[in-house]
Structure 1
């Protein structure tokens, strides 16, 4: 559990259920699950912890104009997964004043394994459409539930998706809606594609990624090359502009950055140091020198968290990320 998630959980616990529910309404499914799990795991909270969290919160929002809301949808499945049914029911009743998630959108609120089981016996093309509709990190988790042969097949199908008939997508949406007790959804015609496949591959475990790429190239070498070119990995951050690196570092957790840099090359480290204050850079260098051995999995997790943040900021137009080829822009 990251320090920031634990701080968020403590802050919500101090606000009370009603106010906490209003804040949860502003979060996406992954954030709700992460914070909910952190709240469930909190033991006794010391007064000093609360004071520290409140102080950090007041400092963080001192220059903010307010919270923004991207959606009014809420999630029953995520809160139950995070807290367990008994703990979650009381809070869910307060949060879900009127659940209005829709068909395919509802999948984004579900546990990745539950999504995998839901589509396991569907036609591979239907599976590809559903997986491509999910956020890349969740899509990678869903793929991880299947065996390697299926994973490779689905990534190739996703890469070759481009346009889908609105009626077909609406029919799929309606089927999921009945299964999940959601409401009707709006059809869309653009889904999948090589960029979507590349984004999903960015979140696949490194040990699995190499094998998948090898098999994709064996089946379709040009397609494999196109996917590889569009993949954005942690080391590609050294190719972004200084102002974009500075924007990214403003939101990066120091502990996570320390772990992520343990597995990076000197060029990227130098860029990070060069976009920090002299004092902060010296402290980070000292921490890196004094940090003992860490697990590769911990480094990869920290790097993926930073990449997720970078992509989110890029999607919001706050920074620009060059694709793996240095030509595409996210």
Structure 2
């Protein structure tokens, strides 16, 4: 069918995305948006691959061509107030300013302890003591352990001597946290649009990725280059440190690894084989040889699974990536 309305285009784009990415996008939408988009998806019918690729190119091109804009909390809140009740706007603004939670202290409980400790180490010990009495004990313990020793001891002594905190003092700490820490944290967590598109491109099959990037390059070379630089491809596994390869091997099913390496360069195959026992390496070679002709789409999907596993392990700190790419090794 021909995609005419914006809702139809959005529906087609959602259906073309990886399920995990589509689910993450749905989670950020309002109930009305989800209902409208779901209805369009259910009634969309068949959309040709050419139309999908053209839609993706249009979407990427639009992002790349966007002129300078300036957003702020104030302008966002003002626009929301034109269409939504004040209570709903207040709730939305609180949600986007920081981690989830009904109260400020709930929100702090969802902040990574290293991030919270890094902020609190520059605050007065009395303020830190108040904060740590308001969050859950296990979270407070992790934060306390990351504070400088002299600061931690001062905070502990103040917590031991602390009586009921006056409401005015508590309100003052809460206002400071809202104005400084939570708003800065939310700004730091906002994603660049090029990063978002790089993640989407990582989930496209090889042919679609090549075509859409080529089309984008014609319209905005800068945007295409930024996205390409941010993308994590199967060849980027050459940047995994030697100690990380055995960890990655344990996280990937053997049949998927064999399929992924079927279409890999020799350096990439060697990277995995040299980190396996002689017997395991021989079995993997036999598995690869035994696959026979395979569809490019199946290889792409297997490689995407290995890349996703590597990214998750890297985010968890279980493997590390070398910063510089070895361009000559990529086949």
TM-score by length of 2: 0.49
Greater relative contact order structure (CA < 8 Å, 6+ sep): 2
